[in-house]
Structure 1
Amino acid sequence: MCKLITLGRNTSERSILLQPADFINLRMTGVTANCSFETEGFLPWKESTLKKLELEESFEIPELIESGRVVGKVMRRVADELGLSRDVEVVSGSPDFAAALVGTNTVRSGDLCDRGGTSQGITLCSRSKAEIEGLLTTPFFISDHWKISGLMNTTGKALEWLQEKITSKHHLKDELSEKRPTGVVFLPYLSGERSPHWDDNARGLFFGLDLETNAETLLVSVMEGVAHGISQIIGKMESAGCEIDNVRTTGGQALNALWNQIKADVLGKIVQVPEMKDSELLGAAIYAISYLRSCSIVEASDSLFRIEHVFHPDKEKHQFYQMYQPVFETLYENNKGLFRDLVVTKQSLMNTKFTEI
């Protein structure tokens, strides 16, 4: 918004406001359109905001085209350059998170999407609105439903970080999956944490190391720690009265069978893995299909979504993981003051110039 104010004060000509996707659509179709997500809270600009900032004479907001609606046909020169039919139509899409939800068929109350890549997004579709401390509740893009979400900063990144530190020579052995829980509890807060703590000072922690701990144990404990974090978020949802019927995982983590099984064991819930792991791509296709078939997003998602694999929780392992869950949650509460002190001390150290003797 600060950039808009600066541009408005220093430009005499009236400009059209476009998001990056809108600009690509313009280059494809020649149509200036606002394809921002129409759900409350996701429109980047509003006429009322421009008026408050006295910028309505400086900028123009194009007509809003809802997700799943046609922007226009591909221009001839673009079609020829890309080798496309000149009859191809460009359909307005959605943000990545919305495409992932549609792509995992998370479209009914009780459906939960675990979107795991470098970071984590745990999103529940719920018919009931629930304001839960540490989580985010916003209107769902399906009427009369709510989106309840928890976000984790460095989940897949934590595993990648550890693999780099202990060298790529260490591979997870098949038999290691039988030696769980590892007995080492990991807090995956390598860059602060969002849900449920919203604490920039939170830091990573391995708890329970002993002489039998090896590289493979640490790798598995990272996956367990992420699963415990997901469990903490889901636990808050359920404590608030939310019902969870289906857990579907997507993203890079969905390719890791051991991690999928660990999630099922920690959560004590069946974890479904979609046929299409890149759910954002499938979600974008679903938006287009909903237009081509003149059907709802739910109907289009139902027609294209497929489950490839199902991971059932091991009841015995789940009982042990339930014992470790309060350890995981208590570790943060007991150390958050120390995390803050550690960050302050480190910053002070970085700003100190030592005198060489």
Structure 2
Amino acid sequence: MKYIIGVDIGTTSTKSIAFDLDGNVISKQNILYPIYNPEPSWSEQSPVEMLNAVVESIKGVVSDNNTKGNELLGISFSSAMHSVIAMDKDGKPLTDCIIWADTRSKDYADKIKTSIEGHEIYMRTGTPIHPMSPLCKLCWLRDNMPDIFNKTYKFISIKEYVFFKFFGEYIVDHSIASATGLFDIYDLKWNKTALDLVGITEDKLSIPVSTTYSIKGLNKEYATYMNISIDTPFVVGASDGCLANLGANAIKKGDAAVTIGTSGAIRIISDKAKNDESERIFSYILSEEHYVLGGPVNNGGIVFRWFRDNFSPLELEAAKKLNIDTYEIMTDEAAKVAPGSDGLIFLPYLLGERAPHWDAYSKGVYFGINIKHKREHFLRALLEGVIYGVYSVGKALQETTGEIDTIYATGGFVRSELWVQMLADVFNKKVVIAESYESSCLGAAVLGMKSLGIINKVEEVEKLVPISKTFEPDAKNHKAYMKNFAVYERLYGKLKDEFYNISLIQEEN
């Protein structure tokens, strides 16, 4: 049997999955690593720990009994976006990996966003101005860590770090580059206006390459440890968001992919970049013929986890005794409440928000509490609030790109039928779930197959993604949700200034 490995370097773990050429999962490995928060607004990870997770997960898949004796055709990569690592001339990290959730550069983002120059950069790079963006992170490093900034040989992402360690070269795929705020998505080169703003030249960044670019000559030490040939082709691949669409088969006109894991996103694929004059959505590259348009939300499953860890001790204990998932108990509680949570509304901005507001200062809010509301109301309102956040991005996306017909759901939230039905009802659209939840890994594998000549075009993914379940919208529920959503949407505008004020107070403390 011949197989290909898709590797997804994610926020909380790295997954490596071996697929046969029909898209079936043969073997998988998932290696976790922590997020470090040395300061309240800082979110970092160790490049060494992340590299080790990549190595161990690949080694685990290759050594699995299901893959032994079979032929590995290549390894292709997906990766989280927006990370920054400063590297010295000897190839050693000067900083940890500053990830998308880091908001230390919010003052820089505010200043750039309100400038004419900032709007020009957005319109050429497709990356909204926000603290997640390496553009803003580098401005912060320049002014707050000048010794490190001036000593840096290359500013790179986590995937670039892995490829440098494996092959000794600094390369970056067009997809990851297009999420930096530094890369011109029309000319496919580093944008001079953005580089001048930061105060660097393009030699401080990696060489941009196509997402189907492959490389051989793996470092012998790593090859021996992972038990693979040094001539195994490594395909650089693309970003996790772009590949989630590909792996979910959400690639036709009218298709959208909604992913809710730790965070969330809604995306469509277009044959051209389309930026929004209001700067609400992103426009990233999947390939020279495919652009992924959409927007991410900071607050997905991590909000549910926050509620579980802080307000659900009885559920945690019960789940442990019954050997079931705590979330299953919690969603059963939420299901007791009718759609709309009897007028209780939750703004889920616990980690600030990206699309459509791009406001790092925004905060979580429960609104409309009355004496009749019980714990299950708060649970259901929380789940609804996450979906409202995705829907608000979906509205902006449809205004820019056209109507969405079908939603392909991916990510951990698809394990909850209640949550997926909520998505169908809020959007008033059909929602389908593929048999495999691992859309970013499968997307990486499909891009790898295209690179290696196994398939002729990425659209052939349709043959590899059977549908396991379809959810039809309920018109009555949609009507109830839209009443709440109208209030939800107005609340942000009314509270925006107060979010900023309370952030200042919290920072003082």
Q: TM-score range by the shorter chain?
A: 0.7 to 0.9
* Cα gap change, 1:54 to 1:250, in 2 (>3 Å): closer
Q: What is the CA distance between 1:54 and its match in structure 2?
A: 8.3
1:166 equivalent to 2:326? Answer: no
| Structure 1 segment 22-33 matched on structure 2, within 5 A | 22-28=160-166, 30=167, 32=169
**Conservation of the 8 A alpha-carbon contact between 1:159 and 1:223:** yes
Matches within 5 A, 1:61-140: 64-74=208-218, 77-85=221-229, 87-126=231-270, 129=274, 131=276, 133-138=278-283, 140=285
Instruction: Tell me the equivalent position of 1:177.
Output: 335
User: Which residue of the partner structure matches residue 247 of structure 1?
Assistant: 407
Cα distance between partner residues in 1 of 2:265 and 2:367: 25
Q: Deviations over 1:330-354 (max 9, x none)?
A: 2222332333343344455x3xxxx
Q: Is the 8 A contact 1:72 1:91 kept in 2?
A: no
> What residue in structure 2 maps to residue 147 of structure 1?
292
Counterparts in 2 of 1:303 and 1:212: CA distance versus 1, 3 Å: same
Of 102-111 and 338-347, deviating more is 338-347
Note closer, same or farther for the CA distance 1:38–1:200 as it changes in structure 2 (3 Å cut): closer
Rounded to whole Å, the distance in 1 between the matches of 2:504 and 2:354 is 19
2:432 is matched with 272
1:66-93 C-alpha deviation (Å, 9 max, x unpaired):
2223211445554333222455222221
Larger radius of gyration between Structure 1 and Structure 2: 1
Shift of 1:134: 4.8
Q: Whole-Å Cα distance in 2 between the matches of residues 60 and 201 of structure 1?
A: 31
* Farther off after superposition, 44-53 or 235-244: 44-53
What's the CA shift string for 1:308-335, capped at 9, x where partnerless? 2222212221121122221211222233
1:85-137, CA deviations, whole angstroms, 9 ceiling, x for partnerless residues?
45522222112222222212232332212121222221122457362535224
Identity of aligned residues (%): 25
Give the secondary-structure state (helix, strand or coil) at the position aligned to 2:309: helix
Q: Counting strand residues as a fraction of each chain, which structure ranks higher?
A: 2
TM-score (norm 2): 0.59
- How many Å apart are 1:153 and its aligned residue? 1.8
Change (3 A) 1:249 1:347: same
Choose from 334, 337, 360 the match for 1:200. 360
- What does residue 261 of structure 1 align with? 421
Cα distance, 1:185 vs. partner? 1.0
Residue 166 (structure 2) pairs with residue 21 (structure 1): no
Q: Is the 8 A contact 2:173 2:208 kept in 1?
A: yes
Q: Give the Å deviation of 1:285.
A: 1.0
| Alignment deviations for residues 152-182 of structure 1 (CA, whole Å, 9 cap, x no partner) | 2223222111122212424336475263211
Query: Gaps (5+ residues) in structure 1?
Result: 351-357
* Counterpart secondary structure, 1:115: strand
Q: Which amino acid aligns with 2:169?
A: T
Give the match's secondary structure for 1:93: strand
Equivalent residue number for residue 353 of structure 1: none
SS at match of 2:299: coil
**Hey, what's the Cα distance between the residues in 2 that align with 1:227 and 1:290?**
34
Aligned equivalents of 2:354, 2:204: Cα separation in 1: 35
Cα displacement (A) at 1:235: 2.1
- SS of residue matched to 2:238: coil
**How far apart, CA to CA, are the structure 1 residues paired with 2:177 and 2:151?**
31
2: CA distance, partners of 1:241 / 1:82? 44
Counterparts of 1:211 and 1:48 in 2: how far apart (Å)? Answer: 56
Deviation at 1:142, TM superposition (A): 4.6
Partner SS state of residue 173, structure 2: coil
Q: CA deviation at 1:274?
A: 2.1
8 A contact 1:74–1:88 mirrored in 2? yes
Look up the match of 1:34.
Answer: 171
TM-score by length of 1: 0.80
Q: Given that residues 275 and 281 in structure 2 are in contact (C-alpha distance below 8 angstroms), is that contact kept between their aligned partners in structure 1? A: no
* Correspondence for 2:93: none
Unaligned runs of 5+ in 2: 1-137, 184-188, 316-328
CA–CA distance in structure 1, aligned partners of residues 251 and 178 of structure 2: 19
Deviates most, 226-235 or 286-295? 286-295
Match of 2:494 in 1: 334
Q: How many residues align?
A: 343
2 CA distance for matches of 1:82 and 1:130? 42
| Secondary structure in 2 matching 1:105 | coil
SS of 2:355's equivalent in the other structure is: coil
